[in-house]
Chains A and B, each alone.
Chain A
Amino acid sequence: MKTRFDNRYVAPLFITCILLVGHLFYGFLESYERTALAIGAAIVTELVLGRIFFGKWVNLASAYITGISVGILLRSPAFWPYALCSVVSIMSKYVLRAKDRHLWNPSNFGICALLLLAPDTVAVLSVQWGNFILPMLVIWILGSIIIWRAKRFHISFTYVVSFFVFAFLRSWITGHPWRAEVAPITGPMYQLFVFFMVTDPKTTVRSKTWQCVVVFFVAFVEMLLRLNQVIYAPLYALFLVGPTAMLIENWLESRKAATEKSGVATQESPAA
């Protein structure tokens, strides 16, 4: 009997690989306990809220990715930010919704919230990677294959191309070495950002073309933020652009539905 691997588990497996490679080679986790806390908090929150609001035990792949993203990306000497970030990330899916869709990528929301509300306690992984080329290449290649299989490669590709274009533009504007402008994308934060955050199926618009347009705007807003020396520019750019795109799409769909409805109504009652 042939068994087919459930695609939903590809992303969790991949992010686990990133974590293991990163930690076993470079020890990049703040600690095992903090990462476990982040994952545990995300899973428990998802289980509880899923039971309450969906009446069932929901699939935990998404919560696992959120928890592990928080565990890797968040940097804090304290424990509580890991739990809090995971919990508010998952909760945001249940609270911040429009047309029965949640608006923010959960870990993007949670991390941005903590950065804004607890800047004296948390930072984001921006330097803690080996800075060596081989593991980075392996992750980029493996990630690309997985994202290709998940039919989201066009989003990551558009973002990366846009980033490079804007990096050279920034270099031209600021006069800084182009390598300095390109440097951030060689770090691990971007690998999680490119493969997991901007491609999140639940918080991207539906049309393939518009997905590319939106992610281009994410890169564009990131450039604007970078020109204003905002350190966590990509996270904030996605935080701003992602939900905006979702709301616009919702609005357009509503309008279209209303138009279609009124068209149908007109056809049904020509006298009106």
Chain B
Amino acid sequence: MIEKNADTFDAASTTALARRIRLQCLHMCHTKRASHLGGAFSVADVLAVLYGGLMTTNPAQPKSPDRDRLFYSKGHACTALYATLAETGYYPLAALDTFTDNGSDFTSHVNHKVPGVELSTGSLGHALSVAAGVALAGKRRKAAWHTYAIVSDGELDEGSNWEAILFAPHHRLDNLTLVVDYNKIQSFGSTADVLNLDPLADKFKAFNWETIEVDGHDHAALAAALSKQGRNGKPRVVIAHTVKGKGVSFMENQLAWHYKSPDAAQFGAARAELLQESKDQA
């Protein structure tokens, strides 16, 4: 049974979901001494809007043929996807407690052995090509489902992405939506300093993509941009301007939170901020 569809978007609900996703990511990175919390926080709102409203999903049957497919290329920020899938019913929240444990499927880069995960990722620049292949199959079979891909900004350094970025509009894959989590910080510094992507929107426009720039933390704007409706023969890219570490003041825009795992004091302070945010909104 399909549990969600494109008509059920509700900003209050997805905002609450995004907060729960961040709290789970924080807990996983703290208890398991894991990294990449900054990139998980930057993409949490995108995942909440997609899984909490826009995408057609069936958590009880993750391989349901009618589902929308999501290919999550920033495999290092795995906690955000694992938490999203747990919070939306693909498996119990308790499964997250096994994250990185010996023998667990919850590896610290995304693993397709986890229910709901379409593709293992971690080597950057792979998932968009695979997503394009899936979208192509959807086109050839005139399927109603949609394909989403999420890439990081630093990952756009990989040339393989640009092969796929050439391919998708040539084959009119308007059943494909790419989200760039543009938090402006990659592994070794700012994207502007390491390998400048700007003007990024112009690049996608020049490659014949329908190009939309949004605040990647504004759920209503994300929902409009990520909608499957109104496609015009072109693949769509949603450049989501985001903040690395979004939601916790001392993590925001800090390169260090690409790597650090929060100690007990940081965990407590971050948790308090995320919970306070929810009170402010309530």
> A and B: partners?
no
Binding site for A on B (CB under 8 A): none
